[in-house]
Amino acid sequence: MDTQPSVTATAEPLLLDAALPEFRFSRLECAAIASAPDVVYRAARELDMLSIHSPLFDVVMWARGVPDRVRRRPVATPPSMRVSDLFDTAATGDQGDREAQPWVALGERAGREIVFGAVGKVWKPTIEWRRVEPGDYAGFEEPGWAKMAAAFVVHPYGARRSLLTYEARTACTDPASTARFGRYWTLVSPGVGIVLRGALRAIEAAAESGEGSA
């Protein structure tokens, strides 16, 4: 007779589930990192998206600027794109040029999970963004747009390591935009995986080198 006590696992809701519970397109990558969860979390929060480099990612970023180059317009390149800036700006109330930054902070559970998102027509040669404030994001349903949300989640993994997941989800607001995004996703999904894995490698390097421990 089996005398082992039964264990019932209780699933903990994700902040990402509240931000974008229903979605058609997604990508999930993960990495086991030899650092404590709080160190990994800080490294993820301080990630500069512009520090991620791979041959495909660099080509994609260059291609995004082609329409502006053809029109002989300067290609705007921000000095940095830190995840923490979205949350720290929201916390201080310093909105700055809100329309210039379509990505917004959607939720944070300190030391555990950080969620951010944007709304846009990413299938266009030059992306058309729609600034949607955090409080309006979950209920945004205006036809013609793609709602994108992403999250870093940190889990303890054994006694000395952490498991970091990076998930990106997209839901479109009507069938026509779903079809457009679906064609776009077929082309870019492998590249999105490369970018997500590149972000995980950058966080892993920062955490294991001690940069995320401050």
Look at residue 94 in the predicted model and tell me its pLDDT.
53
Task: Provide the whole-model pTM.
Answer: 0.80
* 162 pLDDT more than 90: yes
Where does the pLDDT of residue 107 fall: very low under 50, low under 70, confident under 90, or very high at 90 and above?
Answer: very high
Question: Which segment of 86-95, 155-164, 167-176, 193-202 scores lowest on mean pLDDT?
Answer: 86-95
Whether residue 127 has pLDDT greater than 50: yes
Instruction: Indicate whether 180 pLDDT > 60.
Output: yes
Averaged over 134-151, what is the pLDDT?
A: 96
Supply angle C-alpha 52, 53, 54, rounded to 5.
Answer: 135
Extended strands (E) in the chain: 25-33, 104-109, 113-121, 128-130, 146-157, 161-172
- Rounded to 10 degrees, what is the CA torsion of 203, 82, 186, 74? -140
